[in-house]
């Protein structure tokens, strides 16, 4: 994705990456992991009553210069800027979140990158049970362990892929997608829905997720949850504690 103010060296500094910059699967894996562990998933703009901007230059400025995070269109959009700068071919795909009790539209964005002769599902913006490294699309019907999480990717006869995550010992559907390429502008309606609709989780509650190699930290409303291989710890925060937690735990200076 073209962005006039995106700078690859600034991006590498933001994600704390000092490795090679090559159009290969090793670099693809490394930068996805580094971005995931450095840039939080967050909906503070929506909570502040703003419609999230899809202007690429504003996304780049928000995450690289202001030290913010973002939700799927923003963090995956930033990743696409890096892929383009590295010369790694990719496409956006529209995904249908499937953990809701009713069928939902395809409001999620993911990326399919093509490198070293394989196609890879990349996604930095699915919150709590998002993948933690690229998954090859030919790695079907296998348990895929990533840190302490386990995922599975399947594909039916119609070319519909399904991503599942193992949650408390049970396989739970996360989202479905096909390989039809989407243009950036195609996500504008879904972005507006997620920024404004009263049924959207991002409108209803504050949601911040910071992944780490050893686990993840989640702030949902006023509940701070720390998830590691050893279990889950929960803490209810007072409203006057939120700003300090955003800064100390998630690296976010304010609530936007």
Three-class DSSP category at 138: coil
Number of domains in the chain: 1
Residues with Cβ within 8 Å of 129's Cβ and at least 6 positions away in sequence, in order, are 149, 165, 167, 172, 174
The answer to whether residue 1 is domain-embedded is: no
CATH number of 244's domain: 3.30.2140.20
Residue 96 is assigned to a structural domain of this protein:
yes
256 falls within a domain = no
Q: How many other C-beta atoms can be found within 10 angstroms of the C-beta atom of residue 242?
A: 17
Task: With respect to residue 216, please indicate whether it lies within any of the assigned structural domains.
Answer: yes
Average pLDDT of span 223-239: 92
Answer whether 81's CB lies under 8 Å from 11's CB: yes
Q: What is the pLDDT of residues 47-93, one digit of tens each?
A: 999 999 999 999 999 999 999 999 999 999 999 999 999 999 999 99
Q: Average pLDDT of the chain? A: 95
Q: Residue 182 domain-assigned?
A: yes
The pLDDT, as a whole number, for residue 255 is 62
Domain that holds residue 168: 8-250
Beta carbons within 10 angstroms of residue 56's beta carbon: 20
pTM over 0.85: yes
Question: Is residue 149 domain-resident?
Answer: yes
């Amino acid at each position: 994705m073209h962005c006039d103010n995106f700078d690859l060296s600034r991006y590498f500094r933001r994600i704390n990456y000092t490795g090679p910059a090559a159009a290969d699967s090793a670099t693809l894996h490394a930068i996805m992991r580094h971005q995931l562990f450095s840039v939080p998933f967050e909906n503070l703009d929506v909570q502040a009553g703003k419609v999230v901007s899809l202007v690429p230059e504003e996304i780049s400025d928000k995450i690289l210069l202001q030290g913010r995070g973002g939700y799927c269109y923003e963090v995956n959009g930033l990743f696409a800027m890096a892929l383009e700068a590295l010369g790694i071919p990719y496409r956006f795909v529209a995904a249908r979140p499937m953990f809701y009790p009713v069928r939902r539209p395809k409001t999620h964005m993911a990326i399919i990158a093509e490198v070293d002769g394989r196609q890879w599902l990349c996604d930095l913006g699915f919150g709590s049970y998002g993948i933690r490294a690229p998954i090859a699309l030919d790695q079907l019907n296998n348990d895929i362990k990533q840190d302490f999480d386990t995922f599975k990717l399947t594909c039916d006869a119609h070319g519909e892929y399904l991503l599942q995550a193992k949650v408390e010992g049970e396989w739970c559907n996360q989202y479905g997608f096909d390989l039809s390429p989407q243009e950036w502008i195609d996500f504008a309606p879904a972005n507006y829905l997620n920024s404004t609709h009263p049924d959207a989780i991002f409108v209803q509650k504050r949601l911040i997720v910071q992944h780490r190699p050893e686990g993840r930290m989640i702030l949902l409303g006023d509940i701070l949850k720390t998830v590691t291989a050893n279990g889950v710890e929960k803490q209810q925060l007072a409203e006057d504690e939120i700003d300090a937690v955003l800064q100390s735990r998630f690296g976010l200076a304010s609530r936007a």
